[in-house]
């Protein structure tokens, strides 16, 4: 389970997948984000990530809720220095 205040960043990749970065204190072996950290490592991301697929049925609603309730307020495009 991830709290609203732990979402750090939202990034949309070129293939439409959205990366939700999670910033949680503690070593990822013990804070419940082991698998998410390995996914972040594979994608060369510094934080553990949760992936939202483009075909997810409630994706837009989930993004609206995340942006309304968490510190991550905008959706960046991958490799876009201006967003």
What does the pLDDT read at residue 43?
85
0.95 surpassed by pTM: no
With residue 25 as reference, give the H or E element that holds it: none
pLDDT-based confidence at 61, cuts 50/70/90?
A: very high
What does the pLDDT read at residue 23?
86
What does the pLDDT read at residue 73?
83
Sheet holding 75-77, edge to edge: 49-52, 18-22, 7-12, 75-77
CB 76 within 8 A of CB 83: yes
Any idea where the domains of the chain sit in the sequence? 4-77
Q: What's the whole-number average pLDDT of the chain?
A: 85
């Amino acid at each position: 389970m991830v709290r609203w205040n732990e979402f750090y960043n939202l990034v949309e990749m070129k293939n439409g997948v959205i990366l939700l970065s999670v910033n949680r204190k503690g070593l990822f072996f013990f804070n419940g984000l082991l698998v998410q950290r390995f996914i972040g490592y594979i994608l060369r991301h510094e934080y553990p990530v949760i992936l939202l697929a483009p075909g997810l049925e409630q994706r837009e609603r989930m993004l609206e809720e995340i942006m309304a309730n968490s510190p991550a307020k905008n959706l960046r495009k991958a490799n876009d220095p201006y967003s």
